[in-house]
């Protein structure tokens, strides 16, 4: 089907139109994705130009590469960061362990003005503006770092996986540090208060999950995937399969962990803790809120000022830090503790260890 031309143009042969009643001839053609549009005074010149372009393409492979390169650059110039983010979300994110967290991060990033920019406009200045916007939302340096590393991963995938000729803009700026490592541990009395509050939950498994989390220093996801066939109460071990670092890890169970697991009722499925992740998270938050209110009430009756940190800003993942530290307090060495927690480096193991100076001082007496 021929394309429509203006009233003063008439198609006389392929790629050539007659203009102004024969006073001008126009050559329009697409070569390797590059649009060519030239005007000539005679039909002879127009034909010569058209035929030369065809011959150049057929005889000169370099010309073809040049035109393909121009076409690729034109396509890139019209591509926005949002296009790359959506493709990354479809093709790369589903293959990751933390796909839920990354999906949430990508969806939030898509709402920022930087996502609407052409990828050729993503530079140190646009990134600085993006970080400034994040700072007004109260981002920590760790949060800002995660978004920058996500953008970096998207550009890397575009270059190495999808063959786009792009330069990673993250290399032009200084990436914020991870910030101060979180050091929250259970304060004296918090363990009992949380356990008592969790026992009041409708779900009978959440209190046991809390105890086992502290006893094993395991991640919440590892515990929720644990199956009875991977628990050996005779030898006192549990096998976590396909962990965060994509490896299996067998850990020892303390006498307390073995005792409560032995008494734990079996569900219809093989899961030790038949709880959804959102249910475990919600139950923990509600139990903390309930325990804090109960603590404040007891303080008011006793005429005591409540501790502002007691049962405040406590997360389930803090139980992993609590459990890791308790391993050292029980006399585990570095290799033994790392075998239980699954940490690959001493630096990461150190981030999850928070020995109290008061306890260390007792060893110096």
The percentage of the chain sitting over the pLDDT mark of 70, rounded to a whole number, equals: 87
Instruction: Note the pLDDT of residue 165.
Output: 77
Bigger pLDDT: 267 vs 314: 314
pLDDT exceeds cutoff 60 at 133: yes
CA distances from 134 to 15, 34, 131, 310 (A): 52, 40, 5, 30
pLDDT band at 132 (very low <50, low <70, confident <90, very high): very high
- pTM of the entire structure? 0.68
Instruction: Note the pLDDT of residue 29.
Output: 82
Number of C-alpha atoms within 13 angstroms, CB side, residue 137?
13
> What does pLDDT average to over the chain?
86
CA angle, 135 then 136 then 140, to 5°: 35
Distance CA 137, CA 130 (A): 11
Residues 6+ away with beta carbon under 8 Å from 317: 219, 220
Tally of CB atoms within 10 A around 343: 20
Q: Are residues 284 and 206 in contact, defined by beta-carbon separation less than 8 angstroms?
A: yes
Distance CA 60, CA 112 (A): 45
- Residue 155 is encoded by which pair of tokens? 């550009």
Residues 6+ away with beta carbon under 8 Å from 348: none
pLDDT digits (tens, 9 = 90+) for 42-60: 888 888 888 877 776 655 5
**What mean pLDDT do residues 301-307 have?**
94
pLDDT digits (tens, 9 = 90+) for 254-270: 999 999 999 998 877 88
CATH of region 190-362, choose from 3.20.20.70, 1.10.443.10, 2.40.160.50, 1.10.8.50: 1.10.443.10
Instruction: Note the pLDDT of residue 63.
Output: 52
CATH of region 81-172, choose from 1.10.260, 2.60.120, 1.10.150, 1.20.1740: 1.10.150
Residues 6+ away with beta carbon under 8 Å from 173: 124, 127, 128, 148
User: What residues does each domain of the chain span?
Assistant: 9-73, 81-172, 190-362
- Residue 173 is encoded by which pair of tokens? 């700026």
Strand order in the sheet with 237-240: 231-232, 237-240, 249-252
pLDDT band at 1 (very low <50, low <70, confident <90, very high): very low
Distance CA 4, CA 10 (A): 9
pLDDT band at 3 (very low <50, low <70, confident <90, very high): very low
Torsion angle defined by CA atoms of residues 139, 141, 147 and 152, in that order, rounded to the nearest 10 degrees: 160
- Residue 239 is encoded by which pair of tokens? 């096998």
Q: Are strands 237-240 and 34-40 parallel, antiparallel or unpaired?
A: unpaired
Q: Report the interhelical angle of 277-302 vs 190-198 (nearest 10°).
A: 120
């Amino acid at each position: 089907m021929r394309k429509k031309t203006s009233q003063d143009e008439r198609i006389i042969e392929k790629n050539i139109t007659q203009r102004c009643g024969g006073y001008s001839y126009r050559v329009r053609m697409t070569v390797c994705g590059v649009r060519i549009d030239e005007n000539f005074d005679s039909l002879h010149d127009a034909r010569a130009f058209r035929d030369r372009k065809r011959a150049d393409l057929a005889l000169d492979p370099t010309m073809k590469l040049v035109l393909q390169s121009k076409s690729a650059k034109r396509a890139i110039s019209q591509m926005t960061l949002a296009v790359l983010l959506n493709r990354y979300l479809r093709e790369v994110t589903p293959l990751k362990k933390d796909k839920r967290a990354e999906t949430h991060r990508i969806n939030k990033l898509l709402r920022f003005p930087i996502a609407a920019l052409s990828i050729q406009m993503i530079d140190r200045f646009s990134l600085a503006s993006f970080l400034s916007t994040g700072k007004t939302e109260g981002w920590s340096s760790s949060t800002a770092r995660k978004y920058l590393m996500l953008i970096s991963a998207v550009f890397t995938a575009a270059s190495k996986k999808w063959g786009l000729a792009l330069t990673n803009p993250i290399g032009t700026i200084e990436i914020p540090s991870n910030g101060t490592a979180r050091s929250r541990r259970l304060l004296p009395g918090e363990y009992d208060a949380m356990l008592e509050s969790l026992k009041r939950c409708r779900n009978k498994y959440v209190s046991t999950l809390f105890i086992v989390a502290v006893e094993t220093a395991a991640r919440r996801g590892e515990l929720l995937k644990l199956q009875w066939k991977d628990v050996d109460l005779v030898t006192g071990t549990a096998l976590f399969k396909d962990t965060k670092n994509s490896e299996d890890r067998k850990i020892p169970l303390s006498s307390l962990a073995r005792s409560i697991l032995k008494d734990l009722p079996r569900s219809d499925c093989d899961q030790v803790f038949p709880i959804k992740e959102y249910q475990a998270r919600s139950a923990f938050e509600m139990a903390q809120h309930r325990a804090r209110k109960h603590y404040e009430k007891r303080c008011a009756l006793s005429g005591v000022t409540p501790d502002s940190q007691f049962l405040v800003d406590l997360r389930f993942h803090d139980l992993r830090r609590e459990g890791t530290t308790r391993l050292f307090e029980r006399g585990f060495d570095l290799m033994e503790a790392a075998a239980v927690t699954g940490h690959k480096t001493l630096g990461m193991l150190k981030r999850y260890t928070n020995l109290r100076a008061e306890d260390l001082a007792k060893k110096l007496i």
